[in-house]
Amino acid sequence: MTAPDPGDGGRGRNADADADAPGPAEALLLLDAREQELRTRAEQAGAELDEVRHARTATTADDEHDPEGSTLSQDWSRAVGLREAALAGLREVEEARRRVDTGTWGRCVRCGGPVGAGRLRARPTAALCVTCAARSARDPLRG
Ligand SMILES: [Zn+2]
């Protein structure tokens, strides 16, 4: 009668996850907030790239024994990585908006199951449910 529910990691209210899922209006608000955050990050990374570019230009003449040379290229790669990640995130926001338009936002694009309310609020661009996301992270080539 009071058997514990195994394998649910303590969340235990899976049936409620879908009923509590955010609707399209909340989806757009979540996506707007996410977009703002990503734009800020992309701008910060862009500003950092400008700084490194200037620093590089200033030291080019003495490149051979520039003690900061490697630091600069590390800064550069890091800022490029940050900007790429932000831009990729913005593309995900666009895709998620299209799913809101077509009424498929909140559904896993792979298995059609619910992505889950908590996951959507934490990551409104999530296109996969936890199960499919874990599977594709483990085995990306098999899709
Ligand atoms: Zn799925």
Cα of 126 from ligand 1 centre, angstroms: 11
Coil, helix or strand for 114? strand
Mean residue pLDDT across the chain: 85
Ligand 1 (single-atom ion) residues, CB below 5 Å = 108, 110-111, 113, 129, 132
Distance in Å, CA 29 to ligand 1 centroid: 24
Q: Within this chain, do residues 91 and 27 fall inside the same structural domain, yes or no?
A: yes
The answer to whether the beta carbons of residues 116 and 127 sit under 8 Å apart is no
Please give the distance, rounded to the nearest whole angstrom, from the Cα atom of residue 14 to the centre of ligand 1: 14
In Å, how far are 24, 32, 95 from 143, measured between CA atoms?
28, 29, 19
Q: Over 50: is that where the pLDDT of 10 sits? A: no
Does residue 63 register a pLDDT over 90?
no
> What pTM value is reported for the model?
0.73
Cα of 17 vs centre of ligand 1, distance in Å, is 14
Q: How many CB atoms lie within 10 A of CB 106?
A: 23
Structural domain containing residue 39: 23-60+67-102
Tens-digit pLDDT profile for residues 76-99: 999 999 999 999 999 999 999 999
> What's the total number of domains in the chain?
2
Does the pLDDT at position 114 exceed 70? yes
Q: How far from each other are the two terminal CA atoms of the chain, in whole angstroms?
A: 40
Judge whether residue 142 has pLDDT over 90: no
C-alpha 127 – ligand 1 centre gap (Å): 8
Q: In terms of domains, do 27 and 42 share one? A: yes
Are 27 and 49 within one domain?
yes
Burial class for 16, CB neighbours closer than 10 Å (0-12, 13-18, 19+): exposed
Residue 12 located in a structural domain:
no
Is the domain of 27 the same as that of 84?
Answer: yes
In a domain, 49, yes or no: yes
45 C-alpha vs ligand 1 centroid, how far in Å?
33
Three-state DSSP at 107 gives strand
**C-alpha 115 – ligand 1 centre gap (Å):** 7
* Residue pair 37/29 in contact by the 8 Å Cβ criterion: no
Q: How far apart are CA 143 and CA 137, in angstroms?
A: 9
Backbone φ, ψ for residue 112 (5° rounding): 80, 0
CA 23 to centroid of ligand 1, rounded, Å: 19
